Structure 1
Amino acid sequence: MRMSPASLPRRVAAEFIGTSALVAVVVGSGIRADSLSQDIGVRLLANAAASALGLGLLIALIGPLSGAHFNPVVTLSEWWSRRSGRAGGREVLAYIAAQLAGAVTGALLAEAMFGRTPGAWATEPRAALHLLLGEAVATAGLVLVVQGLRHIGRPALAPVAVAGYIGAAIWFTSSGSFANPAATVGRAFSDSFTGIAPASVPAFAAAQLLGMLLGMVLAGVLYGTRGASGEPNAADARRTG
């Protein structure tokens, strides 16, 4: 039995709630890991595992409602690949606004859950060139996975494939694979293991947008520019980190 397409307000609400939950998982697991171990490897492993598991569950739960983007680069790449027109442009703006608001809400919620004062700015600088390169690579890979699943008609694999990719990219990229401008903004509100200093946010976001373009180019090279072989609707669950 298929679900009826959700209205735009419901889809926007799903993006807000999903992005809030995702950032709360990422930031909260980072705070917890930081309090339990001083070993950077243990902290990274705990954060990566929690982030991947949380992302996969959220994609499975919210994908049928909004597509489970949780990420402006996913929303923009999907819009561009579908050429949605004016109505699609309004949806893109609504999605991105919900994702940004949700990311900040999730970070503040995580801080409050651990008895920390919400709203403290992060102090971890992440503007070094090698980190920006890592972030561009991480985002390009994410977009390629999302576009690839759509082109091969396997959107049902998204909860496992996207979550698995993000979990791996947290380890194999120098940046820790934020791969998500909304989550990057949210993480600026947490002075913790997963935070990013506000001054580093614009450069990180620029690297993510560059990575999005690279991912789209790679998808075009591999799969061409024709439509996907799967169902072109919001139920095909696209995501982020």
Structure 2
Amino acid sequence: MTPTLTRRASAEFTGTALLVAAVVGSGIAAARLSPTDIGLQLLENAIATALALGALILMFGPVSGAHFNPVVSAVDWWVGRHAGTGLTARDLAAYVPAQVTGAIAGAVLADLMFGLPAVTWSRTDRTGPNLWLAEIVATAGLVVLVFALARTGRTTAAPAAVGAYIGAAYWFTSSTSFANPAVTIGRTFTDTFAGIAPTSVPGFVAAQLAGGLVAIAALAAWYPHAGNAADAVVVPHPTRESETR
């Protein structure tokens, strides 16, 4: 990797790690602070996640775009490939492993911060057509949102808008809106409030990828020139041209 791509991949690793640490850590704290109230636990988890996501986009967006999500990165590559914008295939090959390993590191970090074993496989089964449908909806909505913001020049609103969407989707989707294959994989490494059993991962990831395809179709209908703004997803970040300067 070039120095610039290495820097961007490290930002994706760290940002995704901190995002998963926020998801898992706030789930552990919520379960301890409100042990008899599941609704309150979910509210605490959702608020902490939404606020952390917004802050992490502000922190890492100017470096890598703050994707933190293989579906966002894959769609960024796909819609930008003809316009010469967005991620290259080489970028994508660096971003996705960084996001997945970052997510795993974030779950381990959260467990250690709360005095738990570094790795305990989750036993929380999350499976069924209703949950898969929810993941399609959550992922498609997230991807369309970030591309709509980029295409219409409103990326300054991304931290608040993306955080708000994820916080709300905790509640309007039956799956509590994982909407991210890397985060899904990372959450298998913790048997806590936010965990998901490894056996449930294939269904969730397949649904998330399907959500990405739905988003591509929606963008073609609603924002046919979204690829022109792929360098600004989630927020403006180094372009192919700027790497060589």
TM-score normalised by the chain length of structure 1: 0.91
Q: 2:28 aligns with which of 28, 31, 34?
A: 31
**CA deviation profile, 1:192-234 (whole Å, cap 9, x unmatched):** 1110000000110000000111112112211224544x58357
Aligned to 1:3: none
**Stretch of structure 1 that moved more, 215-224 or 169-178:** 215-224
CA–CA distance in structure 1, aligned partners of residues 204 and 59 of structure 2: 29
What amino acid maps onto 2:25 in structure 1?
A: G
Aligned to 1:70: 68
Gaps of 5+ in 1: 1-5
- For the residue of structure 1 that corresponds to 2:88, the secondary structure is helix
Matches for 1:83-162 after TM superposition, within 5 Å: 83=81, 88-162=88-162
Aligned to 1:232: 231
CA–CA distance in structure 1, aligned partners of residues 142 and 37 of structure 2: 28
- For the residue of structure 1 that corresponds to 2:231, the secondary structure is coil
Is this contact kept in 2: 1:30–1:193, CA < 8 A? yes
- For the residue of structure 2 that corresponds to 1:7, the secondary structure is helix
What amino acid maps onto 1:55 in structure 2?
A: L
**CA deviation profile, 1:14-45 (whole Å, cap 9, x unmatched):** 00010000000000000000111121110010
Identity %: 52
**CA deviation profile, 1:95-135 (whole Å, cap 9, x unmatched):** 00000000000000000110111110000111111111111
CA–CA distance in structure 1, aligned partners of residues 233 and 174 of structure 2: 32
The 1:231–1:12 alpha-carbon spacing in structure 2 relative to 1, beyond 3 Å, is: closer
Aligned to 2:18: 21
Gaps of 5+ in 2: 238-245
How far 1:140 moved relative to its partner?
Answer: 0.6
What amino acid maps onto 2:21 in structure 1?
A: A
What amino acid maps onto 2:46 in structure 1?
A: A
Is this contact kept in 2: 1:66–1:234, CA < 8 A? no
Is this contact kept in 2: 1:64–1:235, CA < 8 A? no
**CA deviation profile, 1:41-82 (whole Å, cap 9, x unmatched):** 100100000000000000011000000000000100111110
Moved over 4 A (4+): none
CA–CA distance in structure 1, aligned partners of residues 92 and 167 of structure 2: 26
Q: 2:54 aligns with which of 47, 53, 56?
A: 56
Is this contact kept in 2: 1:184–1:201, CA < 8 A? yes
Size of the alignment, in residue pairs?
231
The 1:74–1:227 alpha-carbon spacing in structure 2 relative to 1, beyond 3 Å, is: closer
CA–CA distance in structure 1, aligned partners of residues 230 and 176 of structure 2: 32
**Stretch of structure 1 that moved more, 24-33 or 154-163:** 154-163
How far 1:147 moved relative to its partner?
Answer: 1.2
What amino acid maps onto 1:232 in structure 2?
A: D
Is this contact kept in 2: 1:153–1:231, CA < 8 A? no
